[in-house]
A = this chain, B = another copy of it.
Amino acid sequence: MKILLKIAYDGTNYAGWQRQENAASVQGVLEFALRRLFGEDVPISGASRTDAGVHANGQCATFELAKMPIPLEKLPTVINSQLPSDIAVQSAKTVADDFNARFGAVSKTYVYKIYNAPVRNPLVCRYAAFVPQKLDVAKMQQAANFFVGTFDFAAFCASGSSAKSTVRTVFSCEVAEEIIGEISQNRLISIKISGNAFLYNMVRIIAGTLFYVGCGKFTAADILPIIASKNRAKAGKTMAACGLVLEEVFY
């Protein structure tokens, strides 16, 4: 039988999702826990290969087992008892044998957070990039709309990507802000983006491009020409990994 897990993790201490020879990965730690639990090698297959330091609330991954000795509703808690505090299975369900966690996904949602305040705050900055210069959120909101659609996003793809096509569809891209604490100048800016799939570092480069809009280096009118350029050098910087969360995968 094939089981689909929904997994949350704090990526701070990991070299990313994907199993690696010489570094701790989320996949590697999960597979180690499953092997201890079931007494056999249980390879898992993830929806998204999140990068080093990137977090997840709703990563999805499947594994197969001839016979499941644990009731499905107890599986998350049982697996979690074998995991470190920074990784936890949120839910488990059975799926069809031909279900593919990666290629079966119709949509993924990521959230990128920026803590925009005069000084950094450790309780916020574990899960947000710190930006001290004041950002114009209204301009960022305006610019975000231009990412929605089907485009060749080559300008928003880090080198080293193995993607055959760089065409992707962004379904929505929204910027919101929230005051943190008593001081109105301390704001958490969230960029929520959904799409059919994302290129290597695409969300972090879109966040970096919106950051450039927020500090006046780009305007909303620059977005479509940057996309059309297909030139990575035209887009904004790649924002820090710590601000990114894989929020949900839809099938």
Contacts and interface: CB of A to CB of B under 8 A. Distances in A.
Nearest to A10: B122
A215 interface: no
A234 interface: no
Contacts of A132: 77
B88 A121 contact: yes
Contacts of A125: 85, 88
A162 to B, nearest CB: 29
B121 A57 contact: yes
Contacts of A90: 119, 121
B57 A120 contact: no
Q: How many copies does the complex hold?
A: 2
Most chain B beta-carbon contacts within 10 A, residue among A80, A87, A91, A181: A181
A9 B125 CA distance: 11
Contacts of A182: 248
Given A57-B181, A126-B126, A120 B10 contact: no
Nearest to A7: B122
A227 B90 CA distance: 39
A21 to B, nearest CB: 25
Interface of A: 8-10, 55, 57, 76-77, 80, 85-91, 118-123, 125-127, 132, 181-182, 245, 248
Given A89-B119, A123-B245, 5 more contacts: A10-B122, A10-B126, A57-B123, A77-B119, A87-B122
